[in-house]
Amino acid sequence: MNWIQCLSKSIQYIEEHLTDRISIDEISNQAYASSSHFQLIFHLVFGLTVGEYIRNRRLTLAALDLLKPGSKIIDVAMRYQYDTQESFSKAFTRFHGFPPSKVQPDKIRIFHPLKINITIQGGFEMSRSLIDEFYWSDFKNQKDELLSDIDKYQRIVNWAVKARGHNPGVFDALTEWILDDSEWTDDKLAENEQILMQGILARFRSQNAQLRAYLNEIKPSGIVNKAVFNALDRFDDELSGKTIYDDLRDVITKMFTDFSVMRDRKIREQIAGGKTGPSGADSVDVFGYINLLKECDARVQWTLFMPDVVEKQQKGFKVEKFEYMKMPAMRFIGKESSEGNGLDTVEGLKELFSILDTMSEYKSGFDYDVLLQHHYGRGVDVERCHSFWGRFMKADTPVPEGFVYFDFIPQRTENNFVAGPPYISQFAFAVFSGDMEAMHKSEGYDCDAMYDITRNIILGQDVNIPYPDKYWTAEVFPDGYDNYSTAYMFSVEM
């Protein structure tokens, strides 16, 4: 059986078990491959992870099931292996753009079963076209003498929005090209150096210089987000080979010093990294130089348009306070919110927090009731969200029987690059006021209003979110668990 037949068989197996709990080992067995090798091949061939494919197909079928008379959201959620109706609703909203309670036949997104069709493309012409595929803007030659500074800035913001939607796919194509052995034979090496070094990297440096000059002209008006300049400086350093990433410094230096090292497949794998999807946010096994450039490109765009997005997203409520906090070592103590453990009732939560109330000598100084959410240091496309009710206590606080804990430390230690706990006790803290329903609205947001706005403020200020390895968030209940959450914590690394 060849690899095309193996992949086809694995897809058929997935389709037949979308309502069952299936593991990657079961799926990879259909292809007679190890789970790690199968996942790599699947991603390379189809451009998405196995987990993404399963999620997309389940959410497609879930929407079709909800259109049937008498369907209940909780029944559909359980059928497609979601642990809670809440987690299903969030995933459904992210995928379809509206909550399951408002499903309509003419608005649902349909993700069809994958089929393999092989086409062969290549040659210098295709690879050289990568340069022109990016969404470039020639600020220097734009005629805008009659525009106000606000209109000039809005023009840049509009460009950034379009570039953010377009460029991630081109970076993924660049990754594929670098990993294509047939494109890196000795006779193509000189041409490829022109494409990558004198083409793409040089073009980004030129665009950044034009953007910086354009922004400096309107900077005195006070409308320019200062974080843009920090993002441009960071991007220019990376484009020049001066990286802040210790793990990549050696291989990047080698490529800039002697491009012939790109003959080596292992070198190219470190330069290319992995594809990260249309939003540029999926997790990857190998974070390479191209991933780094994609991240820097996104940072420039975020600092340009996110402040405008945040302002428009505040409908019926507002951000009352926003600050970054660096706490000492802490320990979160609580229990996971899951089906049947009583934490979906006021009585169950009252019992949990009454136990924590008896531990007042261990208060951390950040003593709110919270709902901590994280993915154990893995990407949202790899590991589902786990939610825990509890509080942040002092480090090394004794853990009551039946409770779980997660440690938080002030910053990474030299050896703390393992994904997941201990997490970092640095976070953005946003406090909201206004209409409670609007604050918790999910329709029109990636997740919900408080999450999106807190994240978008962070992105607009060019502060690092340690995704996915140390990423966590928490809903905060300043008036106690039995009232609405009106604040949000979001992991950062400063």
pLDDT tier at 361 (50, 70, 90 boundaries)?
Answer: very high
**Adjacent-strand bridge partners of 319:** 432
pLDDT tier at 142 (50, 70, 90 boundaries)?
Answer: low
pLDDT digits (tens, 9 = 90+) for 405-419: 999 999 987 655 678
Mean pLDDT of the chain: 87
Q: What is the pLDDT of residue 147?
A: 77
Q: Which residue has the higher pLDDT, 182 or 4?
A: 182
- Tokens 């991240």 locate to 295
pLDDT tier at 1 (50, 70, 90 boundaries)?
Answer: very low
What is the number of other CB atoms lying within 10 angstroms of the CB of residue 279? 12
Residue 114 pLDDT > 90 = no
Q: Which token pair is 339?
A: 């089906």
What is the pTM for the complete model shown?
0.69
Residue 95 pLDDT > 90 = no
- Whole-Å CA distances, 464 to 84, 299, 459, 493: 31, 9, 8, 5
Q: What is the pLDDT of residue 122?
A: 46
Question: DSSP per residue over 8-74, as a string?
Answer: HHHHHHHHHTTTS---HHHHHHHTTS-HHHHHHHHHHHHSS-HHHHHHHHHHHHHHHHHTSTT--HH
pLDDT tier at 2 (50, 70, 90 boundaries)?
Answer: low
Closest CA to 227 of 311, 139, 302: 302
What is the percentage of the chain residues whose pLDDT exceeds 70?
Answer: 93
Topology annotation, domain 3-102: Arc Repressor Mutant, subunit A (1.10.10)
pLDDT tier at 333 (50, 70, 90 boundaries)?
Answer: very high
Q: Which token pair is 30?
A: 């259909």
Residue 144 pLDDT > 70 = no
Q: What is the pLDDT of residue 383?
A: 85
Q: Which residue has the higher pLDDT, 391 or 90?
A: 391
Residue 112 pLDDT > 60 = yes
Q: Which token pair is 219?
A: 């900077």
Average pLDDT over residues 114-123: 58
Residue 472 pLDDT > 90 = yes
Domain borders along the chain are: 3-102, 124-307, 317-491
- Looking at 127-136, 446-455, 464-473, which range is the least confident one? 127-136
Residue 118 pLDDT > 70 = no
317-491 falls under which CATH superfamily?
Answer: Regulatory factor, effector binding domain (3.20.80.10)
Rounded CA gap, 343 and 101, in Å?
23
Q: What is the pLDDT of residue 319?
A: 95
The gap between the terminal CA atoms of the chain, to the nearest Å, is: 51
pLDDT digits (tens, 9 = 90+) for 255-292: 999 999 999 999 999 999 988 776 666 666 788 999 99
Do residues 162 and 155 make contact, with C-beta atoms less than 8 angstroms apart? no
Q: Pairing state of beta strands 423-424 and 404-409?
A: parallel
pLDDT tier at 124 (50, 70, 90 boundaries)?
Answer: very low
Q: What are phi and psi of 452, to 5 degrees?
A: -60, -45
Q: What is the pLDDT of residue 227?
A: 93
- Whole-Å CA distances, 367 to 197, 269, 338, 402: 52, 46, 23, 21
Q: What is the pLDDT of residue 480?
A: 94
pLDDT tier at 143 (50, 70, 90 boundaries)?
Answer: low
